[in-house]
Amino acid sequence: MVAISSIGHCRKNLRDNDKNIMKRILVTFALAGIATLCSGQSRNGSSEMRALETASLLARYGYENYSAEALMEAARIFAETPTRKSSLAEIGTIYPDTTELYLDHRICLDPQRLLSDAKKFALRDELLLAMASRVEESLERSQSRGSSSGPEHLKAKVYGNSSKTIILEFVKGEIAEVSIAGDGSCDLDLFVYDENGYLVASDDGYEDICIVRWIPAWTGPFSVRVVNRGELMSTFDMWTN
């Protein structure tokens, strides 16, 4: 009887393990579906900008729901999507020290930080930790390659009840794209004005992830304004094509 009970117990454990594995597989497919839906919202933009928007949404979902899978997928997308440091670094607009920038904020879009937080959320789950190891290998490969192409990327901050304006140049007749993702502390809005002060694009929803696309009528400078509707200072990532 003892032997039979032991065998039954082992079989139950195996069935439980199978269920857990299937659950992880289903979650992975669900996240892939979320990524497809998110990308599908903006089919006219570049694939890189759509990928960055999707990764931002996955990261937000991961932190709000303590989902290791979502954070790992966001880290993988950020790592595999080439970006360039913005030339605006020369005028002090960005803050290249990612660790310091995100120290006091819950939402972080740095791939290494995303992966580190994903491991914490995994709670010693062997399958999730194995997935994290594979993503970590992907991060190492992407970092060793470096990038001289892809969207420009900058990190900045905007104080509560104020705005930050950044001047960018776009080309006539080509789709222009600007995307921002905040740290989750405040509602951020995004507005773009031409050199005559006319509003050409905006995203003023109730979140801090915004994206705008338009086709410039001429080549020249555009004012990209990030407005903080909250009381607290907010950091944000910005990507432009």
Residue 82 has what pLDDT?
84
State the Cα–Cα distance between residues 81 and 52, nearest whole angstrom. Answer: 7
Residue 163 has what pLDDT?
94
Structural element, H or E, at residue 118: helix 111-122
Structural element, H or E, at residue 135: helix 126-145
Residue 44 has what pLDDT?
62
Average pLDDT across each block of 10 residues of the chain; the chain has 241 residues. List them in order: 45 41 43 46 73 94 93 92 71 41 64 91 88 83 58 91 93 94 94 96 94 95 95 93 87
Residue 6 has what pLDDT?
45
Assess contact for 106 and 183: CB atoms under 8 A.
Answer: yes
Residue 142 has what pLDDT?
67
Decide: residue 124, CB within 10 A, 0-12 exposed, 13-18 middle, 19+ buried.
exposed
Residue 143 has what pLDDT?
60
CB atoms within 10 A of CB 166: 19
Residue 81 is classified by DSSP as S
Report how far apart the first and last C-alpha atoms of the chain are (Å, whole number). 69
CATH of domain 152-240: 2.60.120.380
Identify the CA nearest to 132 among candidates 114, 155, 156: 114
| Distances 112 to 15, 53, 67 between C-alpha atoms, Å | 34, 18, 16
Residue 195, classed as helix, strand or coil, is: coil
Residue 139 has what pLDDT?
77
Q: Which residues make up the CATH 2.60.120.380 domain(s) of the chain? A: 152-240
